[in-house]
Structure 1
């Protein structure tokens, strides 16, 4: 009998979200604050536990955390861009 390995999309989402945070050096507390300001409904402890794969969250909360990370990631990228003479800044293509 052979075993097949199936990836749980919920687990993949938290792992990829956490990876994006680490690549951009975004602390969990900053993610939680942004998430909470967007209307997120769980506390910082639960967000941290989710990002480490210790608890499951409803789809809406997971997506809100991902949105917070994406917005912080985009903001960080824009801050690091150097301006051109036209006044435009570099945009990330990540």
Structure 2
């Protein structure tokens, strides 16, 4: 991940994880919101397309939501956290 602006690459990798697992923005937002996420679906969609930046906590909450949905669907590399760490599920 880009050490000068880690959120810059995080959104693209998160969106890629969603595409690989066929997770819609609506599905993601509903799960993210149920976890206590603090931005609306429009802002999540804008973030995933690199149009806006979000605070680290919100980015990580989105990544956590993707990873939880991802775990329900498949066993591949998930979305990255701000630390650059990427969760890899066991087969």
Report TM bin, short chain.
0.7 to 0.9
Q: Which has the higher strand share?
A: 2
Query: How far apart in 1 are the matches of 2:53 and 2:6?
Result: 11
TM-score by length of 2: 0.77
TM superposition shift of 1:69: 0.1
User: Are positions 1:10 and 2:35 aligned together?
Assistant: no
Q: Which has the larger radius of gyration?
A: 1
TM-score, normalised by the number of residues in structure 1: 0.75
- Could you report, residue by residue, the CA deviation over 1:16-57 in whole angstroms, capped at 9, with x for unpaired residues? 000000000000100000000000000000000000000000
Q: CA RMSD in A?
A: 1.8
Q: 2:73: which partner in 1? A: 76
- Determine which structure has greater relative contact order: mean sequence separation of CA pairs < 8 Å that are 6+ residues apart, divided by chain length: 2
2:42 corresponds to 1:45: yes
Q: Where has structure 1 moved over 2 Å in runs of 4 or more?
A: none
- Structure 1: gaps (5+ residues): 1-5, 79-91
Unaligned runs of 5+ in 2: 76-88
